[in-house]
Structure 1
Amino acid sequence: MYAALDIGGTKIAGALIDDAGVILTRAELPTPARESVSRLTGTVDAVIDRLAAHPAWGTVRGMGIASAGPVDTAHGTVSPVNIPAWRAFPLVECVRAHPMLFDGIDPVLIGDAVAVAAAEQWRGAAQGVANALCMVVSTGVGGGYVLNGKLHPGPSGNAGHVGHISVAMDGPPCACGARGCVESYASGTAIARHAVQAGWVPREGEAATAAAVAAAARVGDARALAAYDRSARALAAAIAGSATLLEIEVAVIGGGVAQAGDVLFTPLRRHLHSFAVLDFARDVTVRPAALARDAGLVGAAAAARVRMTEQGSVYVSG
């Protein structure tokens, strides 16, 4: 059994997950993102407390933590953009100090988008694929790579930040400080903003969200379709760039924006043919993610499982 945490700007979730990647029990609390360090760490502790109350806690032999980034896996610290109180915060040390954590369990830190890649490789759409890019397209755009059959988080754990690849030198400014980033075109926020700027208006009582734009696109609204086409073109450029640099075979797309289905995937595949033109890159395929809400948790458990395998040992508590 593995314990897993998934820490984001809106929720802190935890789970106990078995060696087949199946979630046995789950706990979740809202993230007090704008509150103090002590309030945040108290929420993490409360989620672990809920997991520790389950009878299977005694069989936990590893623990993984997926966190919004940037992360520094070498030092066990996190600096999530949307959690201001945590800057170079020693999250691994904090979790390791929890009184219910058994001796011998050393938590593994992984970025949240890299965790999605780990989950999709273990149980999802990237199973059996040697080289893949797994992307999360939601409020932001993140990603993680599987290369030569192994997760590739990079030295600091931040490899795969495809949302901050520039696809237009003179493009709009991005929150990261650069211009023309994929995220500034392809995120759910960008899709809704572009549709509104083009004159699209949500139905009365409906918020201007990417999901609302997708609903309008399904019934043929030209402005909504154009917003998704713009997003798909930026994503296609990033995928083609990854295929050209790393010879990825598959790109897995998940996150809230991917729930638009063919509204996103049809133009994405069309644009990909225009960008991935070299012989060794043109066969890259696009797949929707198989895991949804719990991908971060499953990926965190996968990271812990890999560490246990590499160590060649099995720790059983109790």
Structure 2
Amino acid sequence: MHTDLVAALDIGGSKIAGALVDDHGRILLRAQRATPAREDGDTVMRAVEAVIGELTVSPLWGRVRAVGIGSAGPVDRAAGTVSPVNVPGWRGYPLVERVRAATGVPVELIGDGVAITAAEHWQGAARGHDNALCMVVSTGVGGGLVLNGQLHPGPTGNVGHIGHISVDLDGDPCPCGSRGCVERIASGPNIARRALEGGWRPGPDGDTSAAAVAEAARAGDPVAVASFQRAAQALAAGIAATATLVEIDIAVIGGGVAKAGDVLFTPLRRALADYATLSFVQRLTVVPALMGTDAGLVGAAAAALNVNPSATAAGV
């Protein structure tokens, strides 16, 4: 028997990925284009349409019942629009309407952090947990929440955007307009910036990425270690605040910075013990994400399955 499928789009500042996904989260067909992030909005949309075009010519397309989109944000789920910080050509862009016109099926839009949360809850590290925070720590810091067993995107699709919780009242101004945000301290570029400002110097290859700082920290460089400890402290404060507010019992961390492994997770778990002190948050665990680079696509598919009961919804 042929089950229904959903199409998934994962839209970010560097790539636009698409897939056809079954109700077990298996990816049956992929398509991808580079995001023309510096171009005007319609040029970006043409890249999205090219990805959709590769999916719609497949013989499998006849089984597709909905499209799920996970997009860099902010998104507005209710209005069906997106305004990704890193795609200046899209401001209040009517993405849902355009994708519906290109596909002829119902469309569900969520933020990329919420999409990754959906994937980790459905298939990954948060599976079996009714109350979870999932985070992506990379160029930015995003996230999403599962509450009472359900993905909780909120009215606009941005619930769980932990990167813009302020954890340092007198901290650096953040590009979002606030001050001392988690992202301003814990994102990859900010870990690297702080290490360089502290006197860390890259090796002969000149690599100044957070991954290079992580390597130096593993080798015992005190400035590199301190930069990761500061990032871990900011993440711990944000996670503890979230847990105190909504009683999550697990925080899942993915993204490039999480690949630092113990360099991040050891000081993070230590700092969490300092911040998550109330009895109802003391059992909170922090674990690495499991879903890898397909998380955005699988999560977008999960969202489409969940809001389109005519598809074979495995539930999220």
Interval of TM-score (by shorter of Structure 1 and Structure 2): over 0.9
- Please report how far the alpha carbon of residue 177 of structure 1 lies from its aligned counterpart in structure 2 after TM superposition: 1.0
Mapping for residues 108-127 of structure 1, pairs under 5 Å: 108-127=108-127
Q: Write the distance in 1 (CA, Å) between the matches of 2:20 and 2:216.
A: 39
SS of 1:294's equivalent in the other structure is helix
Is the CA contact 1:206–1:212 (under 8 Å) kept in the aligned structure 2? no
CA distance in 2, matches of 1:223, 1:251: 27
**Amino acid corresponding to residue 47 of structure 1 in structure 2:** V
- 1:157 aligned counterpart, secondary structure: coil
Is 1:70 matched up with 2:85? Answer: no
Q: How does 1:172-191 map to 2 (within 5 A)?
A: 172-191=172-191
Query: Structure 2-normalised TM-score?
Result: 0.96
For 2:153, the equivalent position in structure 1 comes to 153
Match of 1:16 in 2: 20
C-alpha separation in 2, matches of 1:178 and 1:106: 36
Cα deviations across residues 104-134 of structure 1 (Å, max 9, x unaligned)?
x211001000001001011011111010000
1:161 Cα deviation after fit: 1.0
Q: Which moved more, 1:157-166 or 1:201-210?
A: 201-210
* Amino acid corresponding to residue 109 of structure 1 in structure 2: L
1:29 to 27, 33, 56: 33
Q: Does 1:223 align with 2:226?
A: no
Give structure 2 stretches of 5+ with no counterpart.
none
Q: Any unmatched runs of 5+ in structure 1?
A: none
What is residue 302 of structure 1 aligned with on the other side?
302
Please give the alpha-carbon distance, in whole angstroms, between the structure 1 residues aligned to 2:12 and 2:168. 29
Does 1:89 pair with 2:93?
yes
Q: 8 Å contact 1:132–1:249 — kept in the other structure? A: yes
Paired positions, count: 308
Note if 1:41 corresponds to 2:81.
no
**Paired residues of 2:305 and 2:311 also in contact (CA < 8 A):** no
Equivalence for 1:196: 196
How far, CA to CA, are the matches of 1:308 and 1:36 in structure 2? 32
Q: Distance in 1 between matches of 2:173 and 2:208?
A: 21
Tell me by how many angstroms 1:54 deviates: 2.2
- Secondary structure of the structure 1 residue equivalent to 2:308: helix
For residues 32 and 287 of structure 1, what CA distance do their matches in structure 2 show?
34
User: What secondary structure sits across from 2:293 in the alignment?
Assistant: coil
Match of 2:214 in 1: 214
Q: Could you say if the C-alpha distance between residues 164 and 314 of structure 1 is closer, same or farther in structure 2, counting changes exceeding 3 Å?
A: closer
Q: Is the 8 A contact 2:189 2:209 kept in 1?
A: yes
CA contact (8 A) 2:141 2:182 kept: yes
Amino acid at match of 1:113: G
Output the CA distance in 2 between the equivalents of 1:72 and 1:164: 17
**2:65–2:106 contact (8 Å) kept in structure 1:** no
1:53 to partner: Cα distance:
2.4
Tell me how far apart the structure 1 counterparts of residues 77 and 311 of structure 2 sit (CA, whole Å).
23
CA distance in 1, matches of 2:308, 2:36: 32
Distance apart, 1:47 and its partner CA: 0.3
* C-alpha separation in 2, matches of 1:69 and 1:13: 16
What is aligned with 1:260?
260
Measured at CA, do residues 22 and 91 of structure 1 come closer, stay the same or move farther in structure 2, by a change above 3 Å? Answer: same
Answering whether residue 148 of structure 2 is matched by residue 144 of structure 1, we say no
Superimposed CA distance per residue, residues 135-179 of structure 1 (whole angstroms, 9 cap, x where no aligned partner): 000000011000000011111111111100000110111110111
Say if 2:116 and 2:134, in contact at 8 Å, map to a contact too: yes
For residues 48 and 58 of structure 2, the distance between their equivalents in structure 1, rounded to whole angstroms, comes to 16
Q: Distance in 2 between matches of 1:166 and 1:314?
A: 40
Give me the CA root mean square deviation. 1.0
- Residue of structure 1 aligned with 2:64, choices 56, 60, 76: 60
Deviating beyond 4 angstroms after TM superposition, the runs of 4 or more aligned structure 1 residues are none
1:283 match: 283
Offset, 1:61 = 1.5
